[in-house]
Chains A and B, each alone.
Chain A
Amino acid sequence: MTAPLLDVRGLKVAARLGDRAHPILKEVSFQIMPGEAYGLVGESGSGKSVTSLAVMGLLKKPLRVAGGEILFKGQDLLQLSKREMRRLRGNRVAMIFQEPMTALNPLSTVGRQIAEMFVLHQGKGWDEAQRLAVDALASVRVPNPDRRARNFPHQMSGGLRQRVMIAMALACNPDLLIADEPTTALDVTVQAEVLRLIKELCAERGTAVLFISHDLGVIASTCQRVGVMYSGCLVEENETQALFGDPRHEYTRGLLGALPRLGSRSQHGRQRLVDIDSIISDRSKLTETRFIAPRAAEGGQP
């Protein structure tokens, strides 16, 4: 059995306001196998993004890790020095953010922003890094990469910008890519393209993906396993098909009930979308029950 690439154990994050610490994440544990695509779903504020930022070591005050371990290739990221963490960040673990509009520096060409990766992690000179940046743009299927590398972010569409982000994140062939709502800010038509691109490129390179989304459709089409987060807890985890077919946790059932389904009308006659609260009897009891499926067997392949 292969060792997990990322093993998050009992991760606790707290927000320190004044002299009181408010718990934000309550003992979250999950594992990602090498090359696996793992999804985290949940409503906004459930702690998905905080989890990903904790893994990246990018939590900002007042948030801080209050306990647990984040093992990456067997090494606890929380024990690393700042310098060691920087060497890992971007290089072995990379991240794509939600807003391609604001996630790129408006005053710098996209070529240069990608080139920074090669300068930082591979010790290349700027000229060579710029050439590599053009290749990186080509690899995310940006037409005219030569010309596009000299563009500024404002000269690009949202979809192109997100491709730039992907090229940047994958520039150093990381082992793990964290994609935090990578398609939420995009047009629906572009969403599918970008999703396919991430899926294909990561499959080609054997990069594991931690996919974060509130969109169950996105998760279903990209991930092999899914964790459901609610109020700072991972309440249920299972293989994608199993989870969608047989949600065990009350909250997961609620989430699925809120999903419009194509054709559901013809099967069941007039059916209303159900809002979560009408399914869930008592929200305060939600985080007490957890349904964690046994870890996926070989390499996380379904």
Chain B
Amino acid sequence: MRFGFNFMLGATLTALVILAGILAPWIAPFDPVLDADLMNSELPPDATFWFGTDGQGRDVYSRILYGAQISLTVGIVSQVINSIIGVTLGMTAGYWGGWWDDLVNGLTNVMLAIPSLIFALAVMAVLGPGLPSLLIALGLTNWSWTCRIARSSTLSLKSQGYVQAAQTLGYGDLRIMFTQILPNMMGPILVMATLGMGSAVLSEAALSFLGLGIQPPFPSWGSMLTDARQLIQMAPWVAVFPGLAIFLSVLGFNLLGDGLRDSLDPHMRTRNP
């Protein structure tokens, strides 16, 4: 496998986000929630407050470091849920066929008919705001494409010699699925999940911005932007830095995903340099 510049940039950005999230308690100069001081509110960036302070006088830089934890959690957990749902449904549908396949197909089509952010919004409306509901909402939204890919890979893998050999040896269906089929479609699934992390982070930001996701005072990048609309005239840094954090981390996931796809599928590389 050869990795290009884009992949390396994506990997670097992703690594930075992960480091920021893990090291936040040690490298953040202030507490993201408790160190609010109205005397210090809306200070422009300086030596103490690198990214300035927000309306409550909290350090934007510290809040962004802690915000990485939330974005990463949302990105990773939601994609794990997505992949499990998508792979389970897609693989069994492709392998068993019949009425189960029809049912899964129908469900996938219905899911694709609902814009994913709208679906997440509906789930949030039911479960109420907060991190757990956010993880469930985003975990339930984007599995349809994974499911389709898993199904079509299973269909093509099913006719491969080694799968048929396993069948003749009398292996059970589940054993074949997990030992023969799943490992061979991990590549595309991984690509989907990486790209999905980017869109999950974006959705989280949007929902939190709307006040339906992570609730203040917890430092999610999206919810940090909620107040920015009022503050932007006086304190534009409150809007600039959290958005930049979202942008760079999503860019990282997307470049990483594109790079993975290109290295798994050399045909694509020549087309999308």
Q: Do chains A and B touch in the complex (CB under 8 A)?
A: no
- B residues neighboring A (CB under 8 Å): none
- A residues neighboring B (CB under 8 Å): none
